[in-house]
Amino acid sequence: MKMVSVNRCFDGVQGVYTAPSKVCGGDMTFGLFLPAEAQDGPVPVLWFLSGLTCTHENAMTKAGAQIWAAEQGIALVFPDTSPRGGTVANDEAYDLGQGAGFYVNATQNPWAPHFQMWDYITEELPNVLAKNFSVDTDRQSIMGHSMGGHGALTIAMNLPDRYRSVSAFAPIAHPSQSEWGRKQLTAYLGKDEASWAKHDATLLMRDVGFNGPLLIDQGTEDQFLDLLKPEALAEAMFARRQAGVLRMQKGYDHSYYMISTFMEEHIALHAEALYQ
């Protein structure tokens, strides 16, 4: 593992690191904020999964999350959104290929050799963190934005004993029925729609739900609202009697301005669950 940068931040440390990934077949970069409490012992972990076109850096620099994580004494992990490099398959469209991993394990070529983001997020990177940093991977929660909100919700519902809480900002909520989602799920997983079900938050909500705190914020002026389909997820939550909150935030769009506005509340929700 290589240290790219380390900066003092709210009495903690914001670092950027690169480590080889066996599952993705190349080096992967991630950001990690450690609060001051990490100097005295392992702290709980909160994951932030970013959206299309993002790297580890977007949320790390724009979300305003470190101040609230420092206040709560929790670590923040900012993974990249896909494998990268000259040997990694890519596409001219911004919503497929590098920067658009969709947090799945691709089974189709040319994506399968590198696009194993599910295993990277849920297995490989947690092991890297546990071996190299003062974090407690027995206490984890997860959140994300847009494509990353899709990833956070689907990962949390598929691994219910792993994450104590889950939240999302403007998630891609029903990709199997969205023009935005069907393209990527077909490219990465093939045409068998049965294989898509574990990567659709609405279908998972109908089937299994989530036994823990859940919060979703969606802006009413989101320019991608028709592609995100929050109404389908809301209907599934209601039908299942899922405990949780889905809020339509008047006037907010899809940007990091929305994320930073409500970040304090999201981190407070996770901190309460992580320190129970």
Model pLDDT for residues 102-113, shown as the tens digit of each residue: 999 999 999 999
Averaged pLDDT for residues 206-218: 98
Is residue 156's pLDDT more than 90? yes
For residue range 24-83, what is the model confidence (pLDDT) as tens digits?
999 999 999 999 999 999 999 999 999 999 999 999 999 999 999 999 999 999 999 999
Instruction: Kindly name the residue from 146, 165, 167, 178 that is annotated as catalytic.
Output: 146
Mean pLDDT of the chain: 97
Averaged pLDDT for residues 86-98: 96
Is residue 180's pLDDT more than 90? no
- Angstrom CA distances, 272 to 55, 112, 243, stand at 28, 38, 16
Instruction: Kindly name the residue from 56, 254, 266, 270 that is annotated as catalytic.
Output: 254
Active site residue 146: yes
pLDDT on residue 179: 85
Give me 20's structure tokens: 């080889």
Which domains are assigned to the chain? 2-275 (3.40.50.1820)
Instruction: Kindly name the residue from 80, 200, 217, 222 that is annotated as catalytic.
Output: 222
- Residue among 69, 44, 32 at smallest CA distance from 275: 44
**What is the value of pTM for the model shown?**
0.97
